[in-house]
């Protein structure tokens, strides 16, 4: 197939997206596909081979007056204007199949506040939270046990996040997060192990073996994520079979509940008790996680027995499957 791989984008994760996009493009080529690399510049312009890409609603992508023959679009865009449903809506408007979740699922999973309320409705275990700037939010937040985590609701890669240990610092942390997003979430702390699980599929998704994030830093911030040697991933995680199976089951449940398709990475806290039991709490779900060969998503599938080129190939076939299913409905 001929696959258009989109990378770059307007968010602060532009450079990380470029690395992920090139890895996906190479993986698809290794799987036998023809790849068109499309760069989305920080300005928002789409470029391929130095030429601007125009979008024809209902038809596809145009370059230098010619319509590109594209079978599937593979967006590898992290953060706002890429992972939040904006680009997915754009691809929908031009009528092409694409890898990953649709507009609604992308937007829901990108907004931590919306996702947490949906999880609360479905009884998914998670840490307590408060939305800043709502009536009584300061008093409600201070009733949670410190430390607290203050985050922009719709950003990724730990941008704008603060750990607050003193109630006197709470307002300043909220104001800092609000520089990035007017929707700000305040979360209770978890002392659990950071366990992640990759999910692949559409209606009946598969979940990988879980992995554990191991870092020497105080917390898993942007520098810890993207500075070589600062973070390690144990793949698979050292969990007993029962807990590992429960993590995989919950990952699939959250994926389906949120309406995801194709891929996602579910992040959990696993709090272990002295009697050998464990409480599994959802942290978040990422619909376009980091996607280099050494990123958590791919490493967990490799540990589960699925090689990187086959993973990329499976995702474009899932995209076609979903597009075909949706095209059978009338609008």
Active-site hit among 7, 157, 189, 208: 157
Active-site hit among 60, 101, 290, 308: 290
Sheet holding 51-56, edge to edge: 66-67, 60-63, 51-56, 46-48, 34-40, 2-8, 72-75
Active-site hit among 12, 13, 153, 262: 13
CB 259 within 8 A of CB 102: yes
Question: Integer distance in angstroms from the first to the last C-alpha of the chain?
Answer: 28
Report d(CA 142, CA 26) in Å as an integer. Answer: 49
Active-site hit among 54, 190, 220, 226: 226
Q: Examine the residue annotation and report whether 314 is marked as an active-site residue of this protein.
A: no
Q: Examine the residue annotation and report whether 56 is marked as an active-site residue of this protein.
A: no
Q: Examine the residue annotation and report whether 29 is marked as an active-site residue of this protein.
A: no
Q: What is the DSSP letter of 278?
A: E
Neighbours of 94 (CB within 10 A): 18
Active-site hit among 84, 194, 267, 313: 267
Q: Examine the residue annotation and report whether 297 is marked as an active-site residue of this protein.
A: no
CB 161 within 8 A of CB 140: no
Active-site hit among 284, 308, 313, 314: 284
Q: Examine the residue annotation and report whether 265 is marked as an active-site residue of this protein.
A: yes
Q: Examine the residue annotation and report whether 283 is marked as an active-site residue of this protein.
A: no
Active-site hit among 286, 295, 314, 322: 286
Active-site hit among 10, 248, 265, 314: 265
Helix (H) or strand (E) holding 109: helix 103-110
Q: Examine the residue annotation and report whether 267 is marked as an active-site residue of this protein.
A: yes
Q: Examine the residue annotation and report whether 248 is marked as an active-site residue of this protein.
A: no
194: tokens are: 């950071």
Enumerate the active-site residues: 13, 157, 226, 265, 267, 284, 286, 290
């Amino acid at each position: 197939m001929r696959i258009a791989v989109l990378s770059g984008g307007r968010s602060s994760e532009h450079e990380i997206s470029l690395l992920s996009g090139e890895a996906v493009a190479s993986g698809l080529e290794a799987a036998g596909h023809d790849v068109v690399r499309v760069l989305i510049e920080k300005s928002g312009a789409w470029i391929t081979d130095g030429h601007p890409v125009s979008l024809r609603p209902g038809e596809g992508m145009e370059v230098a007056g010619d319509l590109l023959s594209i079978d599937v679009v593979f967006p590898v865009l992290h953060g706002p204007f890429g992972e939040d449903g904006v680009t997915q809506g754009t691809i929908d408007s031009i009528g092409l199949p694409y890898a990953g979740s649709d507009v609604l699922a992308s937007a829901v999973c990108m907004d931590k506040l919306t996702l947490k309320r949906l999880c609360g409705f479905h009884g998914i275990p998670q840490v307590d939270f408060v939305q800043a700037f709502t009536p009584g939010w300061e008093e409600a937040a201070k009733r949670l046990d410190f430390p607290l985590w203050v985050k922009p609701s719709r950003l990724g890669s730990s941008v704008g996040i603060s750990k607050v240990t003193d109630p006197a610092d709470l307002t300043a942390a909220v104001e800092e997060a609000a520089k990035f997003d007017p929707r700000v979430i305040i979360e209770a702390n978890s002392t659990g192990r950071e366990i992640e699980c990759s999910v692949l599929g559409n209606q009946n998704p598969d979940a990988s073996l879980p992995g554990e994030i191991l870092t020497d830093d105080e917390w898993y911030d942007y520098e810890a994520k993207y500075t070589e040697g600062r973070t390690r991933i144990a793949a698979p995680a050292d969990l007993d079979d029962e807990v590992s199976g429960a993590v995989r089951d919950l990952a699939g449940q959250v994926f389906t509940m949120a309406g995801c398709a194709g891929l996602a990475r579910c992040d959990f806290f696993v709090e272990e008790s002295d009697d050998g039991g464990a409480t599994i709490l959802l942290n978040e779900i990422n619909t376009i996680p980091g996607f280099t060969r050494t990123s958590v998503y791919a490493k967990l599938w490799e540990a589960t027995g699925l090689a990187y080129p086959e993973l990329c190939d499976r995702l474009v076939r899932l995209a076609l499957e979903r597009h075909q299913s949706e095209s059978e409905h009338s609008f």
